[in-house]
Structures are given as structure tokens and as C-alpha cells.
Structure 1
């Protein structure tokens, strides 16, 4: 066979040469290194801080807020404070027309005086009944003695006994009239106290020192307190200390503890971060669009006076911190190189990252043990050494096909591999 092939080549040298060149070109096209249109992006493993955070949003509120209302109905005669007015405890805020309450006080005072006069009359009647019963007792004793000696009939003695019994009944009636008069005095005095209380309530005063943050009434307005107390003012007791009520998702609430450090931002000061502390985790759930969340109360120092009630706070609660530990980018846990670059060896089980080697397209899988896992960085307990580089994403190296296309796509994730 081989001798025939050599004979054919000697007989056809030109054709044989062309066939050989074709074979060489085909082999070269198959075996030559292929240029790839992507490259892997790596980051080094190094020591640093790993922070785990829970993000949430909430509203800034005063630490103690009092709603001051009116307990009686009437027309507002005067309002003595305005928005942002500092007030002291007991300071007059507004006045309600006191005409009707004053009339009720006068009527109640007259009722007390009438009841006291009735008591005096009942006491005089009781004293008269006591005198009358003493007289009847002496008269009955005399008549009884005369009847015993036969100088008085039995009918006269019975009449004296009946008069004595009537005097005793009058004494009991006097006692009852005194008790009734005293009860009427107590009732009249209670009504007088209620009338005086309503008169005092026409003066709306501050329950504690603070700053008026809301005024809901103007002079001339009429307030009606028939079914519920109408709110007239809202007072923040101390604006130097504020609180943030943040809604934390049920998936993250298990990481939150009292005393944890918090930082937050507000739209009014986008370049500034405010420090705070978790004070309370409320166990009452709230549901909005089938999402369960829990209120976390955060204490804030506001001595600078920048924060105002009602501002929206974007909160980050530090739920874990490791300082100067070996760490790697969290993206390395999710990234996987392309199938043709993974090789035929089966990667180890567990949590793995891909470590760059001498060949940029032949990374090796490495099993790692993790510690604290943050949003951007994770703590590496075992499996990696400082300085090793791990794959975090891929980027395209293809040239743009036209001037309007961004062919480099340096920031593209997943062009050269699978995330997860």
C-alpha cells in the first residue's frame, strides 16, 4: 500500500504536492490556538474588613410627640402659638369661648347654695323633733302616773302614747331629711366641680415642654368634641433626640439585635451619613402587598438640628463585622467560567471559587470554608491564600462591528461564563 502511494506521488508530483499542502493547512486550522472573544476578570484575595448589613427605609419622628386636643366644644377665641414655637409645660396655647362653661359654673354654685339651705332646714326640723319627743316623753310619764292612781282614763293614756310615737317618727323623718340634703349637697358640688373643670378646659395648655410642630386650628374656628377629641396642636417634646421607625423585612429581622450600630442617609443631605443605634424591635408584624415586615426603632442624636420629623431615612443596620480577616469578593461565589474552560475534572463539592492559573483560560476550582458573608465581601476561613486571584466575572474583547456599537463591553457580566 505504501509502495503504491509512493509510486503515485512520483507519477503525479504536482498533484501530490498540492494534496500535502492541503493536509497541512487543514491540520493547522484545527490545531492552531484559537483567539477568544472574552477574558476573565479576577480580583485578589487579601485581608480587610467584612461587614454584613441589613437595609431598610423608614421615617424620622420625634422621640416623644404629644397631640393636644380640646375636651369641650366651642369657638376658638385666640391662638397664642404658631409652628416651631418653643413652649413650656403649662403654657397657654389657645382659648375657647368660656361663656357657656361660666354659666354652668354659676348654675352649679346656685344648686350648691340651695342644697346647703335645704340641709340647714332639715337640721332645724330635726332639732325641733328632738325637742318634741322630749316633751312627749315627759307628758306620757305624767299621764302614766295619774292613770296608775286612777285619776286618768285609759283612753287619755293611749292618746299620750300615740303622741309620743308620732314624735319619735318625726325624729326619724328629720334624720332622713338631713341625709337627703347632704346627698343633694354632694351631687351639687360634683356638678360644680365638673362645671369648673369644663371652664378650665377652655384654656388649652401644653402638657410638656417642647416645640410646636403642627398647628391645626385658627382663631374663629369651632371645635366639636361630641364623639372624639379634636386635635389642635402637635408638640415634639425634644427635637435634640429623634428616632427612625424602619420597616425591616421578615427575611432580615432575625439578624437585627438591640444595640447594633446603624448608619442612614436622608435626601436633604445626600453626601452625609448619620450614626444611630437600634433601641427596640417591635414584635407586631405589618403586612403590605403580602410582604411582612417589623418595625425597628432607632435612636438618633439630633443636637445639630439637621433632621426634621417626617424625613425619609435610608437605613443600613450593621448585623456583623470582622476586622482584618482574609476576604474575597462575594461575586466569586456566584461566577462560573465557560464549560470549555472548566476542564473534564469534576469540581469538588461544597462552596467553590475558581482560581486563576498560568493559563488565563484554565482556572482551577477551589473548595472554601466561609465565615461572615457580607454583601460585597465574604470571609475566607480555609481554602485560599493571600495574593491568589479569583474569577469574579468575564468581559468581551470582541471588536465593535460599527462606530455606533460598543464592542468592547468591558463591564459586561456573563459574557465569558455563567453566574451561579
Structure 2
């Protein structure tokens, strides 16, 4: 199933500039990793500062934007697809309208609303900037660092699960940082350097696909043995998260990997997220009946969390539907446990409608569709282990959104695939009709 990869990952990838350009690229990627593994920096801080977290996440985000701005000074041609620009613009307009409504009619404080928008949509709003810094991040750096970090995180996660100990702190000194949902019916869920077990699972799925694709040594038999060992370690870590949504997510990512490996240029891949989403809705409907069949599995077969979610969805859905203005502009309620306007929803789609209204939700769907479409074009024009892993993860995320809190990692992966993509045209090792084409012009849709 191994593919022939295009030679664009073997060229400079943005490293023909000065040493300062390379340093900015490495720093940009380090900060991306810190934000993707949102518990890594707090754990480092708690280790050095006696359990305290002194650097808020928003400061790291500002630094991320600052480095992107400095990187943009070295590039002249920043081209963003018109469709993506249009959707982001409409999304901003919807957020402004929703904010005005909530401040005037719901008496919500301006800075509280601003914080909620930053916490919920930061990576959606900054995603277009990625088009201005194409080829700034070296793909080999991503490939091997994510593989290594995934293996280390998996080993730590297994140690947490089997020892029954968190090993790392689960809450900072003043409560700014905490690990959520690490106790599952008395069992320790693996979370490693993330603030949730689900966050670890998303990282490990990304790393697993890279490990399936990368070639470690030239000898086929030894390469297969090493790869089997590494992939087994990572999937053992995924199991130790004890998170059924992640099990579904990893299964869908593997199906996508099989499909794109077997039929790498098939346009039917475009519709995989929709197929998966329908299957995910089917799981929600059938889960109570399936519980009876698998009740002997133990805590993993418990339907308690499912019914909690269903009750929450019905409760908050009724609030939206019973007020046409809430349906249109949102009720300003989020899933982040910082302000007084919070709720446990565990569903990205309902959360967006509840926070900012139906129109904002519809535009959000358009944005994730545009991001998927463009990412798939980039992959088809030039495949590689990292791009394959990104595509496999992105295809499964719309289904994960049915059970998860946020969409942050989806757009972070989208930014990554854009930032590692060649800025210029390239030739493929295995030529096809898109090999010398601007991805935005490829007729997938």
C-alpha cells in the first residue's frame, strides 16, 4: 500500500533563506506543537515553577501570530482561495452580529463574549494566515518529531493507565490548568501531555498514520518489523485513553488510510467525511440497543455517558428552538469552564448553534468543507506521510465533532498542511494530471 511520494518534500520546503528564516520556521512549529498538545507547556511550567502556570494560553497564541507576521515579511505572494476568504468573511460578520445581540439583549459582558470567541474560534479566524506562509515548515521535521512524540506520549499514557496513577499533575496551583475526564469509572485514562484523554487520542491517531506511511530503513522485512512495533505501541496508547469517541475516530482514520492508499486519486474520497458522519449519527441512534449486546465488556460498554449527552442535547436544543432569536444569534453559552455562561454539551455542532446561532453554524460547515476540499487537493497534488496523516484525521473529525468539545485540532491540521505545502509548482514522482497545477484550481468539486 505504500505510495510513491512526490519530490517536493525533498526540496527546500522554504529553507533556502537565511538562518533567521529557518529559526523562525522551527520556532513557529514548536509553538504549533505546544498549542496542539495543549497540556505540554503547562506541565513544563508546573515542573519548573512549583505547580504554577504563569504563561496563559492566549500569550502563546499571540506569540504564534507574531512569528507568523515576521515570517510573512519574507514572502511576497500570498494567495488565498476566494471561496475560503468569502466564508471566513461571512463568519466574522455572523460573529459580530451575534456579539451585538448578546451584549444588548442578553446583557453579556463585552470582554466575556470576546474571550468566548477567542477560545472557540481562534484557529478558524487565523487559518487564512497559513496561506501567506506556505512552505515555511519543513515536512521532515514534522514527520519525525510527531512520530517520536507520539511514541513517548503513548508510553507515558500506558504507564498512567496501567499504574492507575496520573504521574503528572492534573491541576495547577491556582486552578488555571487542569486535566479533564481522566477518571473513567475508577480507571485511569491515559492523557500524557494533554488536558484530556481525547486530546491525546487525536495526537496518537495522527502519529499512527505517519508511522504506517514512513519508511525507517531500506530493508523491507526489518522496516516492517519496526513499523509494526511502533504502530502497536501507539494503538495501545489509543486504547488506554478509554475514550470510545477516539476509538471511532481512529477506526475512521484507518479506513481513510486504506482507501487513499488503495485509490489515491479517486475523487470519491471527497465524500468520506459525509459517509462517516451519517455512520456516526447511526451509532448515536443504535447505541442504546447495542448496549444490551455488549454489556459484558465492562465500563467501556456503559451507556451512562451517552444518556448524559442525549439529555444535555435535548435540554439545550429546546432552549435554542423555543426562542427564534437564540436560534438565529445564539444564547452565548459555551463549553469552556471559565465564565458563567458555560454548559457541558460534548457536541461541536450544537455548541456552535447555542453559542452563536444557526447562521454561524451553517457558515462553519461551509468553512470545514472548504478546508477539507483544499487539503484533499494539496494531498492529491503531492502526497507524503504527513499529508496522508492529516487527510486521514481530517476525514474523521466531522464524526468526532458529534461527541467532542471543540474543533481546534481540525483547523490546526489544516494550517499545518498548508504551511508544509510547496509554494511553487512541483513535479510528482508518479505523474498525474494535477502534478503541475495550483491546488486551488484542481476540479475535485
TM-score, with length taken from structure 1:
0.16
Larger strand share, 1 or 2 = 1
Larger radius of gyration: 1
TM-score, with length taken from structure 2:
0.15
